[in-house]
Structure 1
């Protein structure tokens, strides 16, 4: 999953990602999806401006957003209770990542891998930008 800068003239971005996080979630709109969990695959990719200041070195922690923070946030959102749509889950995750003002853009992909036997997965992918 690759994210591109909104405009070619923008400063370069550092892209961080969570790939193929598998979680059991209470999700779905159909009666058979109520009261049970389903496997959900979560991918999150987010861009942080890279090297804006002259004093920032490659090991400067202010230049990155913690993977662990994002993983814990995804777990917390899923633990909050039943979510009807994968789109809703994706929007909540994107909004959570964008709370960190250093994040310029986030892409979230939510997949349900066990829905159709002949498909690897179904789902949604969204991309959201920092307002302003």
Structure 2
């Protein structure tokens, strides 16, 4: 059956922005992390997922200067993980949240980190945190 569009040609549906999110999915890095020295001595594979809520309207001019640069964000996250040694996933998650808050439009963060090779019978074991900016 043919469908008919109730809107006149070219007219957009009226709506309002509820929120905008930026996602980093399945970033996989080998990092120095672990409670024991033995664990920290060998790098471990981590899978990192980050979801950010940003406070700005949709870009009006299709211009990168109106949004968070995804490449800069991913580089900041990657560098922090690779340049630092951690004991706890919880500490790394908190610090990555702070890295993300370094991008001014970010108002909320959700960071999930999993160790991929810690247990042979578990695909990933880890932590997830959520934080909201409180300085506004």
Whole-angstrom distance in 1 between the partners of 2:65 and 2:19: 14
Whole-angstrom distance in 2 between the partners of 1:118 and 1:81: 28
Q: Deviations over 1:63-113 (max 9, x none)?
A: 421111121112211222311111111111100111222111111101001
1:24 CA drift (Å): 0.5
Q: Deviations over 1:15-56 (max 9, x none)?
A: 11010000000000123213210000011111112527xxx5
Match of 1:124 among 110, 123, 127: 127
The more displaced of 38-47 and 28-37 is 28-37
1:114 CA drift (Å): 0.8
Partner in structure 2 of residue 32 of structure 1: 38
1:58 CA drift (Å): 5.9
Q: Give the secondary-structure state (helix, strand or coil) at the position aligned to 2:53.
A: strand
Extract unaligned runs of 5+ from structure 2: 1-16
TM-score (norm 1): 0.81
Q: Give the secondary-structure state (helix, strand or coil) at the position aligned to 1:123.
A: strand
Query: Following superposition of structure 1 onto structure 2, how do residues 2-21 of structure 1 map, counting pairs within 5 Å?
Result: 12-21=18-27
Q: Give the secondary-structure state (helix, strand or coil) at the position aligned to 1:41.
A: strand
Aligned residues: 119
Q: Give the secondary-structure state (helix, strand or coil) at the position aligned to 2:41.
A: coil
Match of 1:81 among 80, 84, 88: 84
Does the aligned pair in 1 maintain the 2:40–2:87 contact within 8 Å? Answer: no
Partner in structure 2 of residue 3 of structure 1: none
Partner in structure 2 of residue 7 of structure 1: none
Task: Work out which of the two has the higher radius of gyration on C-alpha atoms and give 1 or 2.
Answer: 2
Partner in structure 1 of residue 93 of structure 2: 90
